[in-house]
Amino acid sequence: MPDIKLRNHIPLSAPATREPCTGDEPFLRVSLGFVPRWFSRRLGIDFSERWHTDPVYRYKTLLAMKTLLHEAFPTVPYFKPVMNEKGVEPSCATVSGVHGIRLIPMVYGMGTRYFADGWPDAASKAPLTKEHLARLEPLDVMQTQVMVQLFEQMDTIEQNYGSIHGYLNYQGILNIALKLRGPDIFMDMYDDPAFVRHLFAHIADTIAKVSKLVQARQRASGFAVNLLSMSNCVMNMVSADTYREFVLPHDLMLSGEYERFGVHTCNWNITPYIDVLRSIDKMGYIDMGMVSDMKRVKEVFPDARRAVLYPPVELEQKSLDEIKADIQKIAEELAPCDIVMADITDTTPDSRVRAFLELADAYS
């Protein structure tokens, strides 16, 4: 069988996503990510709209960010800048992180607000109306302003640097529905299930259209990408049965459309959802919080790259002995796996991050 594993990937200053495994992952692989403020405080980088729309400016900032990270954490292989024969650092010529988690909502016409030291957010907290969403017809996504601009960016990347690197964050069915409809989507599942099925099918179709167009353009430039990772960050706000009824059919459909597929459940207890998620045959990635039954996840998903999210607040507040005990638990119950240390803030000392890396490396 082909290797379909995905590992956690946190683009520099961007929300986490997934990338193909290379086969040489360590027993415990730490996936580190830092919030934009971490970089803006040290390098003065402005993460406002220009960072998301100007790939040449973004390339220069990413190269500076990667150089700084390599100096601070020299044992982390993916922080080391590696220039190709043209003098280009390929991973910095990227669409990763563009518009954060706002790309699909922007395709639906929702506004986005940018910040100098933070991730993009909704321009307005007001969701789209139910009447508007109920009348949605299939979208011609290439007629939307955000997609036109994104493809212009990809042309610029290819012209200046060669292949178009990167993994955009397409989110997931329930995540996008929450952004479009607001919290009323949870009551809709009980009050108007037909509307929910219509909306979720529309979102799945839109994610597929956008991701396939983008990845086909990337492949044409020489960057091999054919994957999708669903971000089900609010899964714990619905029951396993509700997920099975409304979300699973679309995750199943999408899983068959790509070479690799995975599901991100955020830092939650995945235990009640293990069986329903196992319905997805092509599961190359699955993650969870530490309160999950990690032993059972390992038994049920032996062929997936597993990952556990370790909260950055615990990195700051726990003693090294407590952290060591957590890492030992992960090693015994879930490994080989990733430990996802995302959203490290500018208040966390570099020495604490290095200590965590050393403890994980000792178990590898």
* Mean pLDDT of the 295-323 span: 96
What tens digit of pLDDT does each residue of 60-86 get?
999 999 999 999 999 999 999 999 999
Distance from C-alpha of 254 to C-alpha of 250, rounded to nearest angstrom:
6
Is residue 1 very low, low, confident or very high in pLDDT (cuts 50, 70, 90)? low
Instruction: Quickly state the pLDDT bin for 180 (edges 50, 70, 90).
Output: very high
Q: Is the pLDDT of residue 178 over 70?
A: yes
CB-based contact 225:167 (threshold 8 Å): yes
Give the integer Cα–Cα distance in Å for 79 and 59.
15
Mean pLDDT over residues 80-107, rounded?
A: 98
With left for phi above 0 and alpha for psi between -120 and 50, is residue 15 left, alpha or beta? beta
Closest to 262 in 3D by CA, of 237, 240, 238, 288:
288
Q: What angle do CA 169, 263, 180 make, to 5 degrees?
A: 50
**pLDDT tier at 363, thresholds 50, 70, 90:** confident
Query: Which band of pLDDT confidence, cut at 50, 70 and 90, is reported for residue 156?
Result: very high
Q: What is the pLDDT of residue 267?
A: 81
Mean pLDDT of the chain: 97
User: What CATH number should be reported for the domain whose range is 36-306?
Assistant: 3.20.20.210
Residue 161 pLDDT > 90: yes
Judge contact between 160 and 56, C-beta under 8 A: yes
pTM for the predicted model, two decimal places: 0.96
Share of the chain above pLDDT 70, in %: 99
DSSP-assigned states of every residue in 260-272: EEEEE--SS--GG
